[in-house]
Structures are given as structure tokens and as C-alpha cells.
Amino acid sequence: MKALNLKEYKQFEFIDVPMPELEADEVLIQVKATGICGSDVHGMDGSSGRRIPPVVMGHESAGVISQIGGAVTQWQIGDRVTFDSTISCGQCEFCGRGQANLCDNRRVFGVSCDEYNQAGAFAEFVKVPDRILYRIPDSMTFQQAAFCEPVAVALHAVSRVPVSSGDTAVVVGTGIIGLLVVQALKAAGCEKVIAVDLDPFKLETAKKVGADETLISGPETLHQIMEMTGGRGVDIAMEVVGITPTTNMAIGMLRKGGSLVCVGNIAQKIEFPLQAVVTRELTVYGTCAINNEYPEAIELISSGKIQVDPIISKVAPLSEGADWFAKLHENKDNLLKVILEP
């Protein structure tokens, strides 16, 4: 089968690789659409340390079951499916607690690190354990279904913090996940969502998908937030970048007793305003991956309550993947989500 292989950092090859061999509890999926995630782009250039070449990346995917393992009973050839990006073991303490996203033995599709190399979905076929499959409705396109993973990430992030109907929230950073967090907040009942970014195009898109207000990030941003909230500050800040300046900005926007959700993690370490968190009694939440949010993601995309079509910038053949990775890495042309099809 054909696959887009990261041979060296910043160097792809579109090559023939062996077909996956199924275990008894696995299915083989004929890939129909796979989105390029920001983590894939950071992996491609080596900055994340989580995509050590050689590796076939790709974890935002959907397709059709083409083969089933001997122990698979609930799925049939021809079923239209998507799947969790994380393979959990189902046996460790955290899986037993219902926290599969924190599994001690978790593996992520398309990730190659010191512990493992898990082939991803930038290929014609990918094998997946049947326990992490989800059926998609006939009304949902495969391109839309490829968004189930990032939508589920956004839903999990929002689920980490209590949301009340009268709340005001700010989303700092409106890349793909930020745009989906804006919509997840609205779906959770948040009354007002303010989007903040440096990029006018991203903010325009945020407005299209449901942000009530948008602000260009700058020296006046904190003052503008305070004006919008009568000097009180926001109830919830979703930080979707992961660097010192944006984290400090998000904390500064919060009211006393407010909640910060750390979604972005570009930097491994940041400077943290501990005194502001302590003296204003803020609550800080981390969020990791997905924990059973796929059914909700499928329902919200299907119903149109979360819009993904406005976020699709390009659908291209998998054979052109190297070129589109390069364009995303250059961060030009107002590109949001690029989806590759084998």
C-alpha cells in the first residue's frame, strides 16, 4: 500500500509499505480522509520530539472497514467509521477509573518516540483495535468525520471546567483547536465567548463559527477585556497556545475565583504567575486528549451545532502531502485545516 512516510525531519517520501497484519481484536480500515494536525507539523520539523523518523503520521481520520480480525463481532466489512487517536490498554489503573486518556500504556497513532512507533493514517490502510472505533452516520462526509478527533479534543477541554449559562469565556489562540473550543463552549451553554488572536483571518473565522466578540492580541487586550466585562474579568479562560505571554494574558483576563484551562502546550516549560493564581484564588485545569467524547463530537458535527466545513482550507491527494506540510509549516496563505485523501 502507499503511505506518506516522514523519512527525515522535513523530508517526506510517498512510498510502498507492507500492509498491516491484523491481531484478533483489530480491523483494517481503508482510509478515506485524514487531517493534518498542528502536532504533525511540529513533528515534521522535529520540534515536538514526538515524531522521530521514520514514521507514518496521521491521527485525525475516517474510512471504511475492509477486513476484520477473528475476535471482532460488533463490526462488519463496509462499516463507515472513525477512531480515537489514542490506543488505551483497558487494563491499567487509569483505564479502570474511566480515564483512558491517562492510560499508563497509551499509544497515539502516528507518533514515534523512545517508547514506541505507532503507524498512523497517512496511508491507504491503517489497523485499529475494535474497542476504539465509532460508527459515523451516512449523512456525514469522510472529511467531516476526520474532524471528530479534534472536536473531541475541544469537547474534553471544555468538559474539564464547570460552565454555567451566564458565563463569559475567552479563548486565547484561534487555530484549529481554538476555533473548535469556541464552538464547544457555546454548545456547553456559555453565554458569551470572546476570541483573541494575532491573526485577523483566524478571528474572522472565529466570528463565523460562533464567537460573540473578537480581539486582536496586543498591549490593549487586557484593558479591552475589562471594559467588556465591566471591570470584572471573564469567568473562564481557555489558553490554546501554550507559551508564557499568552498564558499570562489569559490569567490576567480572569475574574477572582475564575478558571484557566491549559489546552496548548507548544512550550514544555513557561514562566507562571503563581502569586496571581494564589491571591486571586484561580483554578487551573490541564487537559489531555480525549476521554469518551467521540459520540458527542459525532452528534454535534452531524447536527451542525459544531461547524467544521468553514475550517477546511484544502482537500488534496495524499501523494501531494509533502507540499501541503511545507505550506502549513510556512504558515502562509491563511491555511487552516488541510485534509489528505489516499
At 277 the pLDDT is 97
Query: ω before 310 within 30° of 0 (cis)?
Result: no
Which tens digits make up the pLDDT trace of 311-324? 999 999 999 999 99
* pLDDT band at 99; cut points 50, 70, 90: very high
Task: For the chain, report the end-to-end CA distance as a whole number of angstroms.
Answer: 10
Long-range contacts of 303-308, Cβ-Cβ distance < 8 Å, separation of 24 or more: 305/183, 305/187, 306/151, 306/180, 306/183, 306/184, 306/187, 307/183, 307/208, 307/209, 307/210, 308/144, 308/147, 308/151, 308/180, 308/337
User: Mean pLDDT over residues 148-173, rounded?
Assistant: 97
> In the chain, pLDDT over 70 holds for what percent of residues?
100
Task: Assign a CATH topology to domain 152-286.
Answer: Rossmann fold (3.40.50)
Q: How many CB atoms lie within 10 A of CB 180?
A: 29
Cell of 302: 452531524
What would the 3-class secondary structure string for 281-298 be? Answer: CCEEEECCCCCCCHHHHH
At 31 the pLDDT is 98
Q: Are 197 and 264 in contact (CB under 8 A)?
A: no
Cα 172 off chain centre by: 15
User: Mean pLDDT over residues 193-206, rounded?
Assistant: 98
Contacts of 113 (CB under 8 A, 6+ apart): 49, 50, 52
Contacts of 115 (CB under 8 A, 6+ apart): none
At 275 the pLDDT is 97
Strands 337-341 and 312-317: parallel
At 13 the pLDDT is 98
At 48 the pLDDT is 81
Cα 288 off chain centre by: 10
Burial label for 246, CB within 10 Å (0-12, 13-18, 19+), is buried
* pLDDT band at 332; cut points 50, 70, 90: confident
Which tens digits make up the pLDDT trace of 3-20? 999 999 999 999 999 999
Domain locations along the chain: 2-147+308-341, 152-286
> In the chain, pLDDT over 90 holds for what percent of residues?
96
Q: Supply the Cα-derived Rg of the chain in whole angstroms.
A: 20
Which tens digits make up the pLDDT trace of 17-50? 999 999 999 999 999 999 999 999 999 998 888 8
User: Mean pLDDT over residues 236-249, rounded?
Assistant: 97
Which tens digits make up the pLDDT trace of 256-308? 999 999 999 888 899 999 999 999 999 999 999 999 999 999 999 999 999 99
Question: pTM score, two decimals?
Answer: 0.96
At 268 the pLDDT is 85
Whether residue 95 is predicted with pLDDT greater than 90 in this model: the reply is yes
Q: Are 275 and 149 in contact (CB under 8 A)?
A: no
CATH class of 2-147+308-341: alpha beta
At 329 the pLDDT is 95
Q: Mean pLDDT across the chain, nearest whole number? A: 97
